[in-house]
Structure formats: C-alpha cells, structure tokens
Amino acid sequence: MGCFFSRRRKPAQGGQLQLQQAAAGQDAATGEQKAPQYSWDLRAKIDPKDYTFSGLKNETVGRLPGKVAGQQFVIQDCENCQIYIFDHSATITIDDCVNCQIFLGPIKGSVFFRDCKDCKCVVACQQFRTRDCRKLEVFLCCATQPIIESSTGMKFGCFQYYYPELALQFKDAGLSIFNNTWSNIHDFTPGENNWGLLPETAVVQDYVPLPSSEELKAVRVSTDATKSIIPITRGRRQKNSDESCLAVFFAGDYTTANARKLIDEMTSKGFQLVQTKEVLMKAEDAHRVFQQSALEFIPLLEKGPVVALEFNGDGAVEQCQSTVNEVFSGTKVFVSESKASAPQDVDNFFNFADMQMGM
C-alpha cells in the first residue's frame, strides 16, 4: 500500500502554488485578485440592437432564418415599413407602429401589439394580444385564444405561408401546425365592429407582399394557400352544410404526413376543413370521445398526441370513410360512423380538446 502511494506523482511546488492561486481567484503571474468567471460569462454576448427595429420610416428590413434563434424581439415606432422576421423567437412586442406590413415567424410565447394602427400582419404564436390598436388585419396562427383589448377595426384570417425552414421553426418554437384558434377571438372591451373576419378570398400577398430587398429575397417564400405550412381552416365561419365528419390520426412516424394527405384528398373533392387539433389523450378521454370504439384505440394513445380533423360538406362521412379505407388501409384511423353520430363525435372531441388546452 505504501509503495502504491509512493508512486503517485505530486504537482511541482510551483504547480501547486498556481492551483492554490487559481482556486483563490488570483492571477498566477502577478498574484493579484481576479473577478471569478462563471459559465454564463463565457457565452456570446447578446446585443439588443440585433433584436430591435426602432424608429424606421419607409424601409424594408428583416432577419433571415437562423438570425434570431429564439431570442426576444422588439419592434417600435416604425412607419410605412415592411418588416420580416423569418425565424423563431421567444416573444415579440410591437409598439406605436403605423401603416406597416409585418411577417413574424413562429413565436414560442406571446406577441403583443400596442398602440398600432393601419398595419397588415402574418403572425404565428402561442399567445396573441392587442391593446389600444386600430385597423389591424392579421393572418393568424395562435395556439391559444387570441385576445384584443381597447382595439377597433380588427380583422382576422387563417395564417397561410411557406418557406423551407418554417416547419422546423414551428418545432423549435414548440408550436403544432394543427393547433390554430385564429377565429376564436376574445374581446376584453366588447363593442360593435371591434373585430371581424377577413374575406374567405383574401390573399396574403395582397396584404403583406413578398420582400423586395435582395437580402430577404433569398428566403424562398410562397403565399400559395395550397403550400401553407398551416392547414387552412374555416374556423368560426358559418358551415356550408349540416354534415360534418371527425377523423382522428394516432401518433406514429407519419401522423403529420397522413393528416396532410387526408386534408388534400378531402379538400380536392370540395369538402371544407373546419378545425384541427393536436392533443394528448388518456384512456378515460378515449371512452368519452370514441364511445363504443374506445377499447380499439386506447393502446395507441401511449405513443403520443392525436391529430383530429373536422371536415364539412354533404356526404363528408361517406367520403372520409372511403378515402381512409383506400389511402390509409394499413393505418388505424377513427372516422365517424354515420351522419347521425358525427355531430356528437365532433362536439365530444373538440370540447375535450379545448378543456385540455385551457380554453
């Protein structure tokens, strides 16, 4: 044992002194006291100017994918500007902007418009709020109920936008492309004509044009509704038919792709997508929502959240069943059994989902 210890190498006396000085926060060369260094001191310093647009007039400005990377952003005192944030962010505040056209990529938290007027926007976020705003036209994707306060002349449409990096940015921001309550507005100061919906025929590019600057043109944007990363839903608009159908996909490798495929198949045949939702379910939820079919689907719930779609139109149930049997024959999908049971299916699922998401 003594032999073992005798072979351990000891630091040279000078090395030992340097270790002691380092532990005491002293400079090894001079012996002077140094300020301690922490891990957060070693991170790249954030310059707020890189995440702010302030006091601009008649300019086109923006941030390319990867340039915001989840930071907070501030837009204030801008007039007659075109502003594009082609990245995900933590939160964004927009104050005192007039006659601006704004695109905001996925926002993990909230976006808050204050004292803005005559602006046209495309926005994706977890929470949306306005206060003291006038005449904002917004193509919106919002995971929770949008809130307006002391605001008038507000108009809302469903978010429709595409560029190659956008899907990953939604994931980085923790947003699901299927959770969009764009038309379910809560008005804290109710009054006549405070808000309404944009025309169904509204085209994003007519409101927020594609960027004109050479730098921002590098982002390959499409405002074609058929390419939109977010499925276009009717939301609270009046339904064209008294027949709806519920389809539910269960978690797996191709859940999103399968849901998009069914949307394409049904809408190409003239049926309308009313609403979508992605949410976790438990066994007791399945009994409440799927009724007699629950036992068949309960084992699938452990894999992750389900994606639900409501289609509307005469013959929606029969067409949805037929499409699922033809296109997804190897995949378990819940589809309403009949026109008679479908309204209860839709109510059961979306009432449950709204409760889960705290709406």
Give the annotated binding-site residues for GTP: 109-110, 126-129
- C-alpha distance from residue 193 to each of 19, 105, 178, 197 (Å): 72, 28, 29, 11
Closest CA to 53 of 63, 45, 66: 63
Strands 73-76, 147-149: pairing is unpaired
Closest CA to 271 of 209, 320, 225: 320
- C-alpha distance from residue 202 to each of 29, 73, 158, 286, 290 (Å): 70, 28, 10, 38, 36
For 337, phi then psi, to 5°, come to -80, -35
- C-alpha distance from residue 119 to each of 36, 133, 166, 185, 268 (Å): 48, 9, 23, 18, 33
CA distance 159 to 146: 13
CA distance 163 to 151: 31
- 163 and 134 in contact (C-beta within 8 Å)? no
